[in-house]
Amino acid sequence: MAADQVFLLAVSLLSALHMGYLAHCVGRSRLKHSILPPAVTGPAEFERTFRAHQNCVEGYLPFLVTLWVSGLFFHEGLAALGGLVFIAARQMYFNGYVTSAKNRLPGFYLTLAVWIILSATGAIGILHHFLDEYLDINLRKMLFKS
C-alpha cells in the first residue's frame, strides 16, 4: 500500500500538519487576547478565530474520505491536486474569518467547490467500478467508443 498511494498519503500528511498549524494559531489568539482555557468566549476576533478552526475540524474528515475515494477510483494525481487546493482554500477561509465573518466566504466557497468535485469524481469512480464489476457495464467505453 505504502508505495501505491504515495501522493494521497503525502497530501494527507500535509493536511494533518496544516490542521496542527491552525490549532497553533488558535493558541496564539488565546495569548493575544488573554483567553485562558477552558474559556471559548471573549473578544469578537478570538471567537471568530476559534470558530474558524472548529469549522475546519468539522470538515476535515469528510474531506479526507472524498480525497481517498476520488484518488482510488477516479485519478490519484487529480485528487492529490484537489487536496492541495483544499488545504490552501482552508487557509484562505481561516485568514478571512479571523478578520470578519463576511471575509470567510471566498475561502468557504472554494473549499466547498473542491469538496463537491472530489465527492462527484469519487462517486462516479465507485459507480463505474460497481457497474463494470457486477453488471459488466463499462461506462467509459459506452461514452467514448460508441
Q: Which positions touch a copy of itself (CB under 8 A)?
A: 1-6, 9-10, 12-13, 15-17, 19-20, 23, 36-38, 40, 47-48, 50-53, 57-62, 64-66, 68-69, 72-73, 97, 101, 104, 115, 119, 122-123, 126, 129-130, 133
User: What residues have CB less than 8 Å from 27, skipping those under 6 apart?
Assistant: none
Could you tell me the smallest distance in angstroms from the CB atom of residue 43 to a copy of itself? 12
In the bound state with a copy of itself, the residue whose beta carbon lies nearer, of 109 and 146, is 109
33 within 8 A of 45, measured Cβ to Cβ: yes
In the bound state with a copy of itself, the residue whose beta carbon lies nearer, of 42 and 85, is 42
In the bound state with a copy of itself, the residue whose beta carbon lies nearer, of 136 and 146, is 136
As a whole number of angstroms, the distance between CA 2 and CA 7 comes to 10
Could you tell me the smallest distance in angstroms from the CB atom of residue 146 to a copy of itself? 26
66 within 8 A of 115, measured Cβ to Cβ: yes
- Cα-only R_g, the chain: 19
As a whole number of angstroms, the distance between CA 91 and CA 111 comes to 10
